[in-house]
Structures are given as structure tokens and as C-alpha cells.
Structure 1
Amino acid sequence: MTSKRKPSDARRRDLKLAISRIQRGRAHTKATKISISSVAHEAGITPALIHNHYPDVAEEIRELQARSSRAQRDAKHSELQAEREKNSDLRGKLDTLRLQVAKLASINEGLMAENRILKAKQGDSKVTEIPARLPRR
């Protein structure tokens, strides 16, 4: 039992007609949303046939769905570029903050050393502490 296959141009025309019928709301299968699956069902073929043998038709369907692979790729690429720029800015801020922390740590060590020296001098001589607030009279 041999089945006669349709020529490629006839199949492509069937797919275009199926897309057109679905868009106008006149699909034989009552499909209302355009998708590769609905177009394949309307044309009487499998979705794999569209993917494997008619990638241009598959891309056209994706564009009609506003899901073009090029548009998705471009959107993802621009999103990635924006995230990379944010990442670069944050790395710069992090480096600046690390430098500030290092400077503050150095100053803190110097003040602690000076504080130790002053405490040692206080223990040796009769130095009186000055209260933070003077008592009121």
C-alpha cells in the first residue's frame, strides 16, 4: 500500500491557507489561536513536519505570535548587556568601598595605638580625666 505524498510547494500552500483560515476565524478545526500545533492540525500534518521541513513557516507563525526567535534573541541580548553594565557598575562601587574600608581600618589602628600610648601615660603620671559633661552649678 503506497501513499502519494504531496509536493513541497503544495504542502507549503496548504500551510499558508491554514494560517490564513485561523487568522480570519474560519478554521475547519475551530482553532482560534495561531500556533504551530493549530496550523499543523488545520493543514492535516504533524507539528514536527513544520519544524523539520518548513522552518520558514514555523518562523512566520512565531512572528504572528510575537515570539520570533530573532526578536527573542535580540531582547535577551539587550537584557544581558544591561545586566552586564549594572554588574560592572556594582563591581566599581565594591572596589571603591573596599578602598574606603582599608583606609578606615588603617586610621582605626592608628587611633587604637595612640589610645594605648595615652592610657600608658595616664597610668604613669597624675593625669585627671575630664568628664564629658561639666556638672551644673
Structure 2
Amino acid sequence: MTSDRKPADKREKELRLAIVRIQRGRATRTQSTKLTISSVAEEVGVSPALIYNHYPQIAEAIRTAQGRDSRTQRDAKQSALLAERAKARALREEVAGLKLDVRRLASINETLAAENASLRAQVASPNVQQLDTRRAGKEPR
């Protein structure tokens, strides 16, 4: 009974060579020109899960070559998170200011509504006479 298992160092060397072959467009088992974990696994004849589970440094090297290594992704997400937090903070401040404006305007509106009702009541009263507004501010001669 023969075993297809290879020592880890030989398997890792095969994986690294497969990465180089795919990057240079000289893949032997696949015609893949795009470097992915799946294409490397197919080139070597193993499953992608083997690379993910047993050779994380190879998976990271592939991601780095793709320009999306975990550090870069983490930093990009962190900077996006900080930008979104700043936007949220600015929007919360704007909302607080707008709520203050609404309260102030509601108070003014209620005051004007009460004054309007008072003036309507005075005009509706039979004891009120209209004055000529042009002469109201002048002294009699």
C-alpha cells in the first residue's frame, strides 16, 4: 500500500513553485493565468482546503500577490470604519442642532399662535373699534 502523502516541506515547495508558474503564465496542469488559492491547489493537485487549513502562510502569500492580504484588508476596513464614525458623529451633531432649532421654532410658533388668538378675540369683541393705522402714531393737532 503506497501513500500519496508528501512531507510538509516538499508540499510547501510545490505550492510555492506553482505560485511562481502561475504568475509567469507557465502553469502545467491548468491553463490558469489568474493567481488564486483554487488555481494553485489545482496546479499542485490538492484541494483548496488543504492550503487554507495546513498552509496559511501560502494562502497569505497568494493574497499578498493579489493585493488583498489580511493586513491591507484590515487597514482598509479600519480606515473606512473611522471615516464612517466621523460621518456618524457629524450627523448626530447636525441632528442635535436641528432638534434644538425645532424646539425653538415650536416655542415661537406657540407664542405667535397664542398672540394671534388673543388678537382675533379682541377684534371679534363688540367693544373694539378699528383705528386708522396711518394716524395712530401721530398726535392730534
TM-score of the two chains, using structure 2 as the length reference: 0.86
Unaligned residue ranges in structure 1 (runs of 5+): 131-137
Partner of 2:136 in structure 1? none
Partner of 1:15 in structure 2? 15
Query: Quick one: distance in 1 between partners of 2:34 and 2:132?
Result: 85
Unaligned residue ranges in structure 2 (runs of 5+): 134-141
> Do the aligned partners of residues 52 and 120 (structure 1) sit closer, same or farther apart at CA in structure 2, a change above 3 Å counting?
same
Query: Quick one: distance in 1 between partners of 2:23 and 2:98?
Result: 58
Partner of 1:134 in structure 2? none
Partner of 1:86 in structure 2? 87
| Same amino acid, percent of matched pairs | 56
SS in 2 for 1:93: helix
Partner of 2:43 in structure 1? 42
User: How many residues are treated as equivalent by the alignment?
Assistant: 130
Query: Quick one: distance in 1 between partners of 2:4 and 2:42?
Result: 19
Query: Quick one: distance in 2 between partners of 1:129 and 1:35?
Result: 90
Match of 2:129 among 126, 131, 134: 126
SS in 1 for 2:122: helix
Query: Quick one: distance in 2 between partners of 1:123 and 1:47?
Result: 88
Query: Quick one: distance in 2 between partners of 1:8 and 1:31?
Result: 24
Is 1:27 matched with 2:27?
yes
List structure 1 runs of 4+ shifted beyond 4 angstroms. Answer: none
TM-score of the two chains, using structure 1 as the length reference: 0.88
Shift of 1:80: 1.1
Shift of 1:2: 3.6
Query: Quick one: distance in 1 between partners of 2:39 and 2:55?
Result: 15
Question: Alignment RMSD, CA only?
Answer: 1.5
Query: Quick one: distance in 1 between partners of 2:31 and 2:51?
Result: 20
Query: Quick one: distance in 2 between partners of 1:129 and 1:60?
Result: 91
> Do the aligned partners of residues 129 and 83 (structure 1) sit closer, same or farther apart at CA in structure 2, a change above 3 Å counting?
farther
